[in-house]
Chain A
Amino acid sequence: MTELTRMTAVDLAAGIKKKEFSAVDVAKAHFDQIAAVDKKLNAFLFIDEDGAMAQAANVDKKLASGEFLGPLAGVPVAVKDIFTQKDIPTTCGSRILENWRPPYDSTVVSRMKNADMVLLGKVNMDEFAMGSSTETSAYGPTTNPWDTSRIPGGSSGGSSAAVAGFLAPLAVGTDTGGSIRQPAAVTGTVGVKPTYGGISRYGIVALASSLDQAGPFARTVLDAALLHQAIAGYDPLDSTSINQPIPDFVAAAKHKDIAGMKLGIVKEFAGEGYQAGVLNRFNEAVAILRNLGAEIVELSCPSFTYALAAYYLIQPSECSSNLARFDGMRYGLRVDDGDSSVEQVMAATRAAGFGPEVKRRIIIGTYALSSGYYDAYYGSAQKVRRLIADDFNAAFSQVDALISPTSPITAFKIGEKLNDPMAMYLNDICTIPVNLAGVGGMSVPIGLADEDNLPAGMQIMAPVMCDDRMYRVAGALESALVSSWGGLLLDKAPRL
């Protein structure tokens, strides 16, 4: 029998139901794997072994008593440390929230609990989701299972590393400018940023409210679809969640037929800064899609050129406001010498509690929102955002979905770009327009780049509330690629 930790979520759920193994066996195997290899990865910030084993035992009990169990019952999942989970530490990778235990569950967490999933613990991230490498975490960087001297992407690097390192078959992350798709691409996993409003943001510590969106990580397209289906859907606690029926992602992932679909390659996503090996794999994948019967066209989205600039005004602006509440008054860190004014305590707490990247963005955002600068910065950025959405609409009037490389480069070395914010921000050049327009985006593994034998990903983008199209394209592509590789790309990763 395959090792439990190397099985897909689909197979784990089936095996538990057939009583080939118990949910407790599955949880135990994952905690053993975490104990064995997480010192190399630093993916987990908090391991909830007691809670998870109790959840697993409960699944086995339900199964024994013949209760109905959902499609992911007993399947372990790693939770990015940005989702609140009742009584479980939620740090957002920041000192300022060290030891904070929220009194409530985020909607994503409560839906996973209701699906009888087994929540293993909280995984690492860039501080408050600001970064593309998980290096800005106050709790040390997470490493890439393909090469532990390299970054696992970010900000959901704990989630990507946990799935790629076989510490969890599934993980949830959040994506504000690429924070699910880029880590998925550089670790050879599948990552999905759903349509904005497709999954409730309730209980997700906000980075940029108008851009943040939760989504699944998995090793296969079908596993991602199952997790996505379990956590998606309208939530009255989130005013921006969309009150519409959710498409059938699972059926789309199983569909495998893309004959007649029209896919667009965005001209602007190429050129300087793109690694040749990544483009090679991308072009081969495009050829496979064409062979599968898709019609491929090239089109232009001229406003995408300004996406990065607009993003780095809107996101820091919202973040400067969202992060104001961390002032030492109610929870988290408080730096108080007992002889300071309330303003001094707030300032000292924020100075000590936030890292440099968070401070950088708060300062940029505070400036951009100031009266006298608002129109030039935040106002202009919102106009660009509108233009980008228009470009997507125009493109989607011609094609069913768009495709591009997910990240222009493969995983870089830890420390290589930490002191060069612009170089770091360029990792998200292909993913940012998707968040600005609120459409769906997904990354699937397409092979290893020639130069470094590290994973590359293809991004598939679909119109609002048409995320099922991404699964359809990804499912067909994965099927073809897995046949040619003789297994998942991740099987090629070195054993830790």
Chain B
Amino acid sequence: MNLFEFENVITDFKPVLGLEVHVELNTKTKVFCSCPTNFGASPNTNVCPTCLGLPGSLPVLNEKAIESIIKIGLALNCQIAPWSRMARKNYFYPDMPKDYQISQYDEPICFDGFLDVLVPNGDDSSKIRIGIERVHLEEDTGKLTHAGGFTGRIHGADYSLVDYNRAGIPLVEIVTKIIPDTGELAPEVAKAYVATLRDLIRNLGVSDVRMEEGSLRCDVNVSLMPIESNQLGTRTETKNVNSLRSVERAVRFEMQRQAALLKAGERVKQETRHFHENDGSTSPGRSKEQAEEYRYFPEPDLLPIAPDSKWIEQLRSELPETPTAKRERLKQAWQITDFEMLAVVNAGALDLIEATVELGTDPSAARKWWLGKITRIANERGVELEQIDITPAQVAEIDQLVATGALNDKLARQVISSVIAGEGSPGEIVQKQGLAVVSDDSALLDAIKEAIVAMPEVVSKIQDGKLQASGALIGAVMKATGGKADAAKVRKLLFDYLGVSQD
């Protein structure tokens, strides 16, 4: 497949994005029945007549799901419809027990909102406002497993198994308005939008938003228009892009692929595409060149949804601080730049640093530990920062040891590694491994005297006023104590011993 150089795509084309994100709500029961929603149960055990769509069964709407979607809508600055209806989306597929999905059509519960996201832009960052078209409620389908065949898809499979545990889990679909004019930032914008949305929903406590478990799934729409044109191009919809990095890669790949087609005088086909994690490419799915025929009509088994305006206002007043507001507040409190804040957010360290600071740690120190050693370990392991086994309380304890001079930075990093390795609490580790800074003056003085004897020429330089030469002596003392000395203290003792003023 031909790909166009990304830099050249931007010179010739303007990318237009659209993102559809599906979020599984973490309600205790399903959206239309009282079956449990826990992930990982044995296949077809979390089912009943209603979520199996047995003849005669009827749906009853879960009030908690309505509450959750209204919270999401409010957090996304949406209007909340005073009256809306569920609708049936009719199509045949074996993962759908009723062969129609109860969803919403032209009457979504929430509509017309926005979400501000920050993206890195050179050495600075840009704030971009993403318009939200609609937020609606629907039921999830069952899960198909295709056995045999080569593709893992239904065509060519020997047989397929269906697990309806997932059928009827409440899903919220969040659809952006078209996102124009992002230029070369397009891949980053897409990623930042999903990341910000994920943080916002997690913050609301209405979903686990775990991309790896499928509780947040993203479809990425991309089209290109020639740089001189304002005519929207043909879009493709890359389905189920299931990590933040993949969102960015999928956008980048589609931009490059579509540009290559357009440059060669070919046309982009309107279709869904599959994303491949291994090489970041996409491949054709089903054609969308013919209008889809879902025969939507209002769901007659359910009453219209007419939330009381007092209830909506109550939910609004109870909303937690938005991630954007929180970033702004912490940026001020910690006295850092937008760019530095972006590094914190991109590392997934905001909440962790905040918690550490709340335990009394200096903000810059907290940032240093989380973005330094701990982030490096997370990167080496290829996991999210929050999955690393060290708590803000442990980091705060380590920092306290540094502040009191019991540890220096180097030793502190060693303690961090040991905590993460599960060797105990910071205090225990310092104890067990004898890592504490040597603060016994006489022991240090002995080491200083040894160094002076070994390097008389350095002592002369210092006495001649070349104070910077003291580094060699201090280095020797640090070496002799196995790095467990506080360098500032060694320096003070050295100058005192030599009777030289430090100034």
Contacts and interface: CB of A to CB of B under 8 A. Distances in A.
Given A103-B49, A324-B90, A209 B56 contact: no
A283 interface: no
A10 B88 CA distance: 44
A313 to B, nearest CB: 11
A102 B301 contact: no
B297 A378 contact: yes
A366 B56 contact: no
Residue from B53, B98, B295 whose CB has the most chain A CB atoms within 10 Å: B295
B434 interface: no
Contact of A369 (B92, B94, B295): B295
Given A209-B301, A370-B295, A374-B297, A102 B56 contact: yes
Nearest to B155: A341
A415 to B, nearest CB: 29
A324 B92 contact: yes
A239 B58 contact: yes
Contacts of A369: 90, 295-297
A201 interface: yes
Contacts of B100: 321, 324
Interface stretch (A53-61, A217-225, A226-234, A327-335): A327-335
A492 interface: no
Interface in B40-65: 49, 52-61
Nearest to B48: A104
Given A240-B303, A318-B300, A366-B295, A325 B56 contact: no
Given A202-B57, A325-B98, A239 B295 contact: no
A370 B293 contact: yes
User: Which of B54, B56, B59 is packed against the most chain A CB atoms within 10 Å?
Assistant: B56
B59 A239 contact: yes
Interface in B83-113: 88, 90, 92, 94, 97-100
A327 B56 contact: no
B55 A102 contact: yes
Interface in B313-345: none
Contact of A321 (B58, B97, B297, B303): B297
A206 B55 CA distance: 7
Interface in B396-421: none
Given A321-B90, A321-B297, A202 B291 contact: no
A239 B55 contact: no
Contacts of B61: 239
A289 interface: no
B154 to A, nearest CB: 7
Main secondary structure of the interface of A (DSSP, over half): loop
Contacts of A97: 55
A200 to B, nearest CB: 9
B480 interface: no
Contact of B301 (A240, A320, A342): A240
Contacts of B58: 201-202, 237-239
Nearest to B144: A342
A78 interface: no
B302 interface: yes
B297 A236 contact: no
Contacts of B57: 104, 202-203
Nearest to A97: B55
Given A102-B54, A202-B56, A370-B293, A239 B97 contact: no
Contacts of B53: 325, 330
A325 B99 contact: yes
Interface string A82-107: 01100000101000010010111010
Contacts of A238: 58, 60
**Mostly helix, strand, loop or mixed at chain B's interface?**
loop
Nearest to B89: A321
Nearest to A210: B300
Nearest to A371: B293
Nearest to B59: A239
Interface residues of A, number: 45
A329 B61 CA distance: 26
A343 interface: yes
A320 B293 CA distance: 14
Given A239-B303, A321-B88, A342 B94 contact: yes
B460 interface: no
Given A104-B54, A239-B58, A378-B297, A327 B92 contact: yes
A310 to B, nearest CB: 14
A370 B92 CA distance: 15
A325 B295 contact: no
A204 interface: yes
B142 to A, nearest CB: 10
Nearest to A324: B99
A353 to B, nearest CB: 13
B56 A205 contact: yes
B297 A325 contact: no
Contacts of A209: 300-301
B283 interface: no
Interface in A346-393: 346, 366, 369-371, 374, 378
A317 interface: yes
Contact of B60 (A103, A236, A325): A236
Nearest to A208: B300
Interface in B280-315: 291, 293, 295-297, 300-303
B318 to A, nearest CB: 27
Contact of B55 (A84, A237, A320, A341): A84
Contacts of B90: 320-321, 324, 369
A104 B92 CA distance: 25
A238 B57 CA distance: 9
B56 A106 contact: yes
Contact of B92 (A92, A208, A343): A343
A83 B55 CA distance: 9
Contacts of B301: 206, 209, 239-240
B246 to A, nearest CB: 29
B56 A206 contact: yes
Interface in A164-207: 201-206
Contact of A342 (B49, B154, B296, B297): B154
Interface string B209-238: 000000000000000000000000000000
A92 B94 CA distance: 23
A92 B55 contact: yes
B137 to A, nearest CB: 15
Given A240-B303, A324-B100, A325-B99, A103 B154 contact: no
B160 interface: yes
Contacts of B60: 236-239
Contacts of A202: 56-58
Given A202-B56, A239-B303, A324 B154 contact: no
Contacts of A378: 297
Contacts of A210: 300
Most A-side CB within 10 Å, residue of B98, B296, B301: B301
A103 B59 contact: no
B206 to A, nearest CB: 23
A204 B56 contact: yes
A71 B477 CA distance: 101
Interface of B: 49, 52-61, 88, 90, 92, 94, 97-100, 154-155, 160, 162, 291, 293, 295-297, 300-303
Given A240-B302, A369-B295, 12 more contacts: A83-B56, A102-B55, A103-B54, A106-B56, A202-B57, A318-B300, A321-B88, A369-B296, A371-B291, A371-B295, A374-B295, A378-B297
Interface of A: 83-84, 90, 92, 97, 100, 102-104, 106, 201-206, 208-210, 236-240, 317-318, 320-321, 324-327, 329-331, 341-343, 346, 366, 369-371, 374, 378
22 contacts: A100-B55, A102-B55, A103-B54, A104-B54, A201-B58, A202-B57, A210-B300, A236-B60, A239-B58, A239-B301, A240-B302, A240-B303, A320-B295, A324-B90, A325-B98, A325-B99, A327-B99, A329-B94, A330-B52, A331-B54, A342-B94, A343-B92
Going nearest first, the 3 A-B pairs with the smallest beta carbon separation are A324-B99, A369-B295, A209-B300
